[in-house]
Amino acid sequence: MITRSKLVEQLRDYQIRSQHKCPALAVFSPKPLLSTWTDVAVAIFWALISFVLLVSSYITLYLKHYHISFIIVCLGILVPIRLRISRQSLARKRDRRLLLPLSM
């Protein structure tokens, strides 16, 4: 059932998303929306970590250290997966908070 509060929340989310200046950084953010400068700084940090892992995996492949390269590639894959899981858990918490009865 669609309630007024859900519609207001969806409209607010849409307005915040439409104000994004850097939607590419949203991939590296642990939060679903980049609303503050600290969120942007954290997203830039995770983007730099991913870039460093990518470059270091290429360097270790060039130097023929295959085991180390495999470990670095696995870390490079796990970083975005972990960020996506944290975004989903924050979205679930936000939705759960909205489902509280109005009497509380």
pLDDT confidence of residue 55? 94
Query: 65 with 46: CB under 8 angstroms?
Result: no
In a domain, 53, yes or no: yes
In a domain, 104, yes or no: no
pLDDT confidence of residue 57? 93
Residue 65 confidence (pLDDT) above 90: yes
What span, in angstroms and rounded, lies between the C-alpha atoms of 26 and 1?
A: 30
In a domain, 103, yes or no: no
In a domain, 29, yes or no: yes
In a domain, 52, yes or no: yes
What span, in angstroms and rounded, lies between the C-alpha atoms of 77 and 71?
A: 10
In a domain, 64, yes or no: yes
The reported pTM is 0.65
Residue 87, domain extent? 4-98
| Number of domains composing the chain | 1
pLDDT digit string, tens, across residues 19-61:
656 667 777 887 777 777 888 888 889 889 999 999 999 999 9
Report, as an integer, the average pLDDT of 81-90: 86
